[in-house]
């Protein structure tokens, strides 16, 4: 039997939807290798173990991420791997921001298997796929554009730290989770504040939540 020519990862915390996506992918790419991840931690572990992934289908909201944090991290850490967002939040603003942050497409969860198949086929051919009825022509908010441009300057590790700040974790907790020293986390936090043009951890979390349209989960960041 010949080796699979395409390797996809489905990252979604709902097993039934992962199964529907798997069926849609298999109907388009019968020889594809398909891995699944039910949390962002599972996804990052999988990507650390293999570098031959051709496409990630990513839910915007799953354990370990919220809003665009996962997309921003993946585009920074694995710029060669296309990411398509598959989400129940499918308003025009969310779709446009997904593309702004580097997504190769956006598939609303409300669509049926036929549309999923078509979207996956287009993306695998190198096209950017969004719903036909999406309005991407609305003028962008200049403040939001500046904030987005600042956010994408963060390194992958800084994105992870900001995600954890948003969950309200302390520096020592983040250091433990990432396996680094507390001093390293303090340095990351300082860099994040500088890059985002803010003066406190709380302002950094609020800025991240703004760019996510309120979807970036906010905890209570403290020292």
Q: Please indicate, yes or no, if residue 72 is contained in any of the structural domains.
A: yes
- Distance CA(74)–CA(100), nearest Å, equals 14
Q: Please indicate, yes or no, if residue 137 is contained in any of the structural domains.
A: no
- Relative to beta strand 33-37, strand 55-58 is unpaired
Q: Please indicate, yes or no, if residue 131 is contained in any of the structural domains.
A: no
User: Are residues 91 and 164 located together in one domain of the fold?
Assistant: no
User: Are residues 26 and 115 located together in one domain of the fold?
Assistant: yes
User: Are residues 11 and 76 located together in one domain of the fold?
Assistant: yes
Q: Is 12 left (phi over 0), alpha (psi -120 to 50) or beta?
A: beta
User: Are residues 115 and 155 located together in one domain of the fold?
Assistant: no
User: Are residues 102 and 65 located together in one domain of the fold?
Assistant: yes
- Distance CA(7)–CA(29), nearest Å, equals 10
Which of the four pLDDT bands, split at 50, 70 and 90, describes residue 2?
Answer: very low
The beta strands (E) that lie in the chain are given as: 7-11, 33-37, 55-58, 83-87, 105-108
Residues 6 or more apart whose Cβ sits within 8 Å of residue 87: 59, 60, 61, 94, 98, 106, 107, 108, 109
User: What number of other Cβ atoms are within 10 A of residue 87's Cβ?
Assistant: 19
User: Are residues 103 and 157 located together in one domain of the fold?
Assistant: no
The pLDDT tens digits for 183-223 are 999 999 999 999 999 999 999 888 877 766 544 444 444 44
**Range 172-190 average pLDDT:** 94
Supply the range of the domain harboring residue 195.
142-212
**Range 40-65 average pLDDT:** 88
- Distance CA(18)–CA(31), nearest Å, equals 18
Q: How many separate domains does the chain show? A: 2
- Distance CA(204)–CA(194), nearest Å, equals 10
* 13 touches 57 (CB < 8 A): no
Q: Please indicate, yes or no, if residue 182 is contained in any of the structural domains.
A: yes
User: What number of other Cβ atoms are within 10 A of residue 51's Cβ?
Assistant: 10
The pLDDT tens digits for 76-90 are 889 889 999 988 888
Is the pLDDT at 181 greater than 90, yes or no?
A: yes
């Amino acid at each position: 039997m010949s080796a699979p020519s395409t390797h996809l990862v489905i990252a979604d915390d709902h097993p039934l939807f992962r199964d529907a996506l798997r069926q849609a992918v298999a109907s388009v790419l019968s020889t594809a290798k398909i891995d699944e991840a039910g949390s962002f931690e599972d996804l990052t572990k999988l990507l650390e173990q293999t570098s031959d992934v051709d496409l990630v289908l990513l839910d915007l909201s799953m354990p370990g991420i919220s809003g665009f944090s996962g997309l921003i991290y993946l585009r920074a850490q694995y710029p060669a791997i296309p990411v398509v967002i598959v989400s129940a939040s499918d308003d025009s603003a969310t779709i446009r921001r997904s593309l702004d942050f580097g997504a190769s497409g956006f598939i609303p969860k409300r669509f049926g298997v036929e549309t999923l198949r078509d979207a996956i086929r287009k993306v695998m051919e190198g096209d950017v796929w969004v719903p036909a009825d999406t309005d991407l022509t609305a003028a962008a908010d200049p403040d939001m554009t500046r904030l987005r441009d600042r956010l994408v300057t963060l390194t992958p590790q800084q994105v992870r730290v900001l995600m954890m700040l948003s969950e309200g974790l302390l520096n020592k907790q983040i250091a433990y989770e990432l396996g680094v020293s507390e001093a390293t986390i303090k340095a990351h936090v300082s860099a994040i504040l500088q890059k985002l043009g803010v003066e406190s951890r709380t302002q950094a979390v609020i800025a991240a939540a703004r760019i996510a349209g309120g979807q970036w989960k906010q905890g209570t960041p403290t020292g």
